[in-house]
Amino acid sequence: MAIGPQLTAEIRRLFFGEHHKVGEIARLLGVSDDAVRRAVDTERFVRPGRIVPSELDPYLEFCRQTLQRYPKLKVSRLHDMLRQRGYRGSIVQLRRRVHQCELRPRPQREAFFALRTLPGEQAQVDWGYFGQIRVGSTLRKLWLFVMVLSWSRAVHVSMFLDQSVGSVLRGHLEAFAYFGGVPRQILYDNMKTVVVERVGDAIRFHDRLLELSGHYLFAAIPCAPARGNEKGRVESRIKDLRHSFMAGRQFVDLDDLRRQFEQWRQDVQQRRRCPDQQELTVGEALVHERKRLQPLPEHPLGCDDTRQTTVGKQPYVILDTNHYSVPHELVDEQVVVVSSERQVRVLHDGIEVARHVRSYDRHQHLDLPEHRAALAEYKRKARSLHGRSLLLAQLPQAEALLMELAERNEPLGPQTARLLELVQIYGAESVAVAEAEALERGTPRAASVAWLLQQRERAAGNPPPIGPLRLSRRPELQQMRVTNHKLEDYDDLA
C-alpha cells in the first residue's frame, strides 16, 4: 500500500514524537503495519541476531529433497520420517523451519489467455447456494440459477428451492425471455442435472438438456474439470450477488426477493461499465448484444417435471414428502405426476384427474374438497350396503320396504340398522309379517314395524322381549361391577 508524504509525516510524528507503537499507529490511521514500518524505516533499529545451531540443521537437506520430490507432503508425515532417522525435536520447530527456509517449492501459477467472446456468442451458467428460507413449518435451501452473457456481462437470476431438472429448464427459459434471444453456446459447470456422466472427454448429457438445446438451437459445452477460469464471468456475478445484493437483505418470500433483484439489476448491475467495452454500460451493451442473439422459437419448450407412480391404499400421490389427494377410484392405479413451480397435476390415462397448488412445506396433506366429499360418500354408502346385504340375506321380504323408503328419500342406513335389530329380537318370520302389514298401512318405516311387533306381543300376553343392550345409551352401566357368586351356596338352600 503506497502512502503519500502527508500521511508519512503523520506516521513519523506519532512514532518518533509521541512514541506510539507500530500496531497502534496502523489502527489509528487505518493503514497496514508494513506501511508504518516502511515510513519509519524500522529496519535500522533491528539488531542482527546470533545464529543458534538447531537440532534440525543436519536434516534440512533431507527435508528439502523430500519436499522437492513431494511438494504436497504434509509436515506431520515429514516429522514421522525424520523421527525414524533420529530426529527428536518437535513438529512445531519443523513447521517453522519449513516456512522460514522455504524448503517447500512454490507452486508455479498457471498463466491464462484472456478469454474474448463475440456479442451473442456465449453465455455461462452456474448455481449459487444462498442459505435457507422458511416456508411454512420447514426450512428450505435457497438456490440461485445464474446465466451471464459473456460479452455484455448482462445477468439473469432465477430463484428456486431445489436443483431439479425442471428448475434448470425453467431457469433457461426465464433467462432467454429476459435476454430476448438465445446465445449460440452455453458453458456449464459439471452439474449432475446437465452432465450425467463424464469419463475424460467422453460426456453424456442429460436427456432433457439435449431436448432443450435441440429446441433452442444452442451448443451445450461443459467446463473442463478444475478449470474455474473458463467460467469466471458467472462466478464473478455470483460473488456480486453474494456480497452486493444478498448481504443484509430482508425479504418476505421468493416473489418479494425476485422483485428486489430486478430493482437491484436495474439500479446497480446494468449501470456498471462493460469490461470489454469501457465506453458502454452493461445495460447499453445488452441492447447491442440482443441484436446478435438467435431468435426465440415460436413455441416454448415444456419444462415440467414428470414421473410415474402408483396410488397407494390411501388416495394420495407423494411429491417432495407432501401428499396430494386424488379421486378414491384411483387406488392401486398407475398415474403420472406433472409438477411445475406453482402447481401439481395428476394424469390418469392422459386425462387430468387432480390439480393442486404446489406446497414447498414438508409432510403436508393437501386435500381437494371434492375428493374428500366423494370419499366420505363412498364410505357411507359402503357401510350402508354392508348392512343392507345382511338384512336381505336374513329377510328377503325387506327389499319392498327398502324400495318404498328410497322413493320417499328416507335415509336407508338407520332404517336398515333398526330392522336388523328387530330381526335379532323377534325373528325373521315375525318381522316379515309386520313389514307386510306396515306396507299395507302406508307406513313403511322401521318404527312402524317395531310398533306392530310390540302390539302383537301384548295381545298374546307375552312379556316384552329383551333386545341387545346398548351401553352407549346407558353410560352408567359401563362402570357397574358384577360379583359372580358361587352356585354351590344356592344348592345348599334347596
Helix (H, G, I), strand (E, B) or coil at 131: strand
d(CA 117, CA 122) in angstroms, rounded, equals 7
| Average pLDDT of span 267-295 | 90
* DSSP-assigned beta bridge partners for residue 436: none
Q: Residue 469: its pLDDT value, please?
A: 47
**59 or 471: which leads in pLDDT:** 59
The pTM for the full model equals: 0.58
Interval 360-382 mean pLDDT = 79
Coil, strand or helix at 365:
strand
pLDDT digits (tens, 9 = 90+) for 190-239: 777 788 777 766 778 888 888 988 999 998 888 766 555 567 888 888 99
Give the number of other Cβ atoms within 10 Å of residue 148's Cβ.
26
Highest mean pLDDT among 388-392, 425-429, 462-466, 479-483: 425-429
**Section 432-449 average pLDDT:** 84
Ranking 109-113, 297-301, 440-444 by mean pLDDT, the lowest is: 109-113
3-state helix, strand, coil in the chain (%, to 5): 45, 20, 35
Cell of 442: 302406508
CA dihedral 248, 251, 254, 256 (to 10 degrees): -120
pLDDT at residue 306, as a whole number: 87
Let me know how long the chain is.
494
Residues 6 or more apart whose CB falls under 8 angstroms from that of 159 comprise: 142, 143, 144, 145, 254, 257, 258, 261
Q: Give the least confident one: 109-123, 451-465, 475-489.
A: 475-489
pLDDT-wise least confident of 60-64, 106-110, 396-400: 106-110
pLDDT tens-digit profile of 104-158?
877 666 554 456 788 989 999 999 999 888 888 888 999 999 999 999 999 999 9
Q: How confident is the model at residue 303 (pLDDT cuts 50, 70, 90)?
A: confident
Neighbours of 226 (CB within 10 A): 6
Long-range contacts of 471-476 (CB under 8 A, 24+ apart): none
At 328, the pLDDT band (50, 70, 90 cuts) reads confident
Which of 138-152, 244-258, 431-445, 453-467 is predicted least confidently? 453-467
Q: What is the mean pLDDT of residues 52-69?
A: 85
Residue pair 201/236 in contact (Cβ under 8 Å)? The answer is no
pLDDT the model gives residue 471 = 46
Which pLDDT band holds residue 459 (cuts at 50, 70, 90)?
confident
The predicted model gives 388-395 an average pLDDT of 72
Query: Cβ neighbours of residue 184 under 8 Å, at least 6 residues apart?
Result: 120, 121, 122, 218, 219, 294
User: Which range scores top for mean pLDDT: 24-38, 54-68, 258-272, 461-475?
Assistant: 258-272
Quick one: pLDDT at residue 425?
Answer: 83
- How much is the pLDDT for 183? 94
Average model confidence (pLDDT) for the chain?
Answer: 82
